[in-house]
Structure 1
């Protein structure tokens, strides 16, 4: 699946990815989309669509009578949608929890003429009173796991744009979520432009690195309880594969429910390229230094030939790969491509 939900703190996000990693399926915000600057009190350029718009969802029916201007969001993924479509939300959840705003998100905010977003504390869940106080025209909730609880309290505030079936909280791609939101916002053409620009970003990067084509890869995350084989066979093709890499044949032995690699079986990670991330630091099963000095790990051909690389977690790259959205993808390609290039070259 291609999961794009509220971005929680990185360690929690990647802990969830033990059984559910949504590898990147395309890119997000880009200067190539032509997104115009806007603000919480102004409209982004319309991209087709007439009003009223009626959308059926898992909890009822949403009608947006006029083109929305003031948009509130209930997840980081929904905030990404608004920003990618050229809208600064009137209020968003404070998903950073005091950490720096992700670079790609700050870029988008600055591009839209703002320094930071107005947020509410989401430690205890959605703050309905804070959202109501901003008098939004519409509330975006297409990237959240909490709508079953939230819908009844949000719908009296403003029309809620969310998924048509509860199962879609896990299954929709970010492109599908973007298009759903865009329909309610009258920005369908803008959404199409964002998606097209994202696809071009990936194609251009793949074309610039023909050496990636056909190389097998393994991507693993060191969680507190295990080393997780994330690039299992039925995982959706994502950014690694769209850049030309292919899953190792051994990936067929792993799945979302069977993805642990023991220290005795580190040779299961063998491939042309090995990529790992350590989002839990010293709280992981073992630290980077402990794993990378392990005799069995050091004996792997992929390690000895220097085709091994670490995907950093401290700059949110690992999280952005795990939770793709409409905003982060060009930044992911920008940051991941040089890592892959060095690993493929054995540098």
Structure 2
């Protein structure tokens, strides 16, 4: 049954790529391809009839997109995936955590190749950590998307002088859901109908995995922050965090000790802190966490207090050292969801069976 689900998700990924490629071919007939700053042809899809102009609200006000964008710059997390899912290849994207030597995730690279486009430039920063506005200006974008980023108002103002810029709705580095991110990008690209289709197809991939793994609904989960040297508390992500919501969508349940976790949330943090001495107040059938190295994993699993916690002592844990897989889970997108499902489902099943091993690159 599980192998059937992997086949479903891979088939969907290929189907979406073929469908968007077909739309791009029509776009090329209608408007031709613009030339990228790196010398290659820009691949972009036309707006749906009547979808533009569109006005999009965000933390710094409103942005109106009047014409179908062809040269799109993305800043922050995940947005480059969503743009590509619509059939448009961005001209500039950030260097993603867990990416390859050139800074691209495997699913984004595969989608660009399927679309027949060229990989974009990687966004640069100066020595002070500021955006390279000259690089952005030189690429002559007609739209800048930063709905899942940390840009501040002065940066937004400078970017808006270059091209219409869409910032995040309320909080920096926060997305209400991956679905809302798709909707924002769909509105900006003039493709709200396509957004609905992409969301529905992605949700089917997740629900299919839940359907063939009904046992998940009988087990609770905690998604934790890596335990580092000297820590006296365990960090646990709250239910609204996108990586937790992904596991819940697969059918897993929140820990019964959720109140204990939420009591340790400070300000607008997306995780709470629980004393290592009080972890018994946060029961879980499965513990999921990410680390940056085998040494960090070993420290956590060998910690004299932490290792007594039931999911650790009973071997019901899943430690992600695979940065690409963690990236796919922490910021789900229409492109990364099939990758995350295929990677996580067998690991979750193994952990529930007490066959826990670190997931490594």
1:128 counterpart = 2:126:
no
Answer whether contact 2:236 2:274 (CA < 8 A) is retained: no
Which residue does the alignment assign to 2:6?
none
Q: CA deviation at 1:76?
A: 3.5
Equivalents in 1 of 2:261, 2:110: separation in Å?
37
1:308 counterpart = 2:308:
no
Which residue does the alignment assign to 1:111?
114
Please identify which structure carries the higher helix content. Answer: 2
Which residue does the alignment assign to 2:359?
none
- Cα distance change, pair 235–94 in 1 and its aligned pair in 2 (3 A): closer
Answer whether contact 2:51 2:187 (CA < 8 A) is retained: no
Equivalenced residues, count: 313
1:277 counterpart = 2:281:
no
Which residue does the alignment assign to 1:321?
329
Which residue does the alignment assign to 2:74?
73
The 3-state SS of whatever aligns with 1:193 is helix
Equivalents in 1 of 2:274, 2:61: separation in Å?
44
Equivalents in 1 of 2:327, 2:211: separation in Å?
25
Which residue does the alignment assign to 1:87?
88
Which residue does the alignment assign to 1:332?
340
Which residue does the alignment assign to 1:12?
none
Question: TM-score, normalised on structure 2?
Answer: 0.75
Answer whether contact 2:43 2:87 (CA < 8 A) is retained: no
The 3-state SS of whatever aligns with 1:249 is coil
Which residue does the alignment assign to 2:38?
none
Answer whether contact 2:95 2:103 (CA < 8 A) is retained: no
Which residue does the alignment assign to 1:228?
234
Per-residue CA deviations over 1:39-81 (Å, capped at 9, x if unaligned) read: 8623326445433333344434433232111212222422122
1:154 counterpart = 2:167:
no
Higher relative contact order (CA 8 A, sep 6+): 1
- Cα distance change, pair 267–296 in 1 and its aligned pair in 2 (3 A): farther
Per-residue CA deviations over 1:224-263 (Å, capped at 9, x if unaligned) read: 4635342446767611111111112112201233733444
Equivalents in 1 of 2:56, 2:210: separation in Å?
37
Which residue does the alignment assign to 1:196?
200
Which residue does the alignment assign to 2:249?
242
Equivalents in 1 of 2:82, 2:240: separation in Å?
27
Which residue does the alignment assign to 2:212?
208
The 3-state SS of whatever aligns with 2:147 is coil
Equivalents in 2 of 1:232, 1:168: separation in Å?
17
Equivalents in 2 of 1:178, 1:307: separation in Å?
34
Equivalents in 2 of 1:42, 1:233: separation in Å?
37
Runs (4 or more) in structure 1 with deviation over 6 Å come to: none
- Cα distance change, pair 75–298 in 1 and its aligned pair in 2 (3 A): closer
Given candidates 25, 30, 33, the residue that maps to 2:13 is 30
- Cα distance change, pair 51–270 in 1 and its aligned pair in 2 (3 A): closer
Per-residue CA deviations over 1:158-204 (Å, capped at 9, x if unaligned) read: 111234x5447635323222212211211112211111111001110
Q: Which moved more, 1:272-281 or 1:72-81?
A: 272-281
Answer whether contact 1:161 1:181 (CA < 8 A) is retained: no
Equivalents in 1 of 2:94, 2:175: separation in Å?
22
Equivalents in 2 of 1:292, 1:265: separation in Å?
17
Q: Which moved more, 1:191-200 or 1:106-115?
A: 106-115
Instruction: Name stretches of at least 5 consecutive residues in structure 1 with no aligned partner.
Output: 1-28
Instruction: Name stretches of at least 5 consecutive residues in structure 2 with no aligned partner.
Output: 1-11, 25-32, 34-40, 356-361
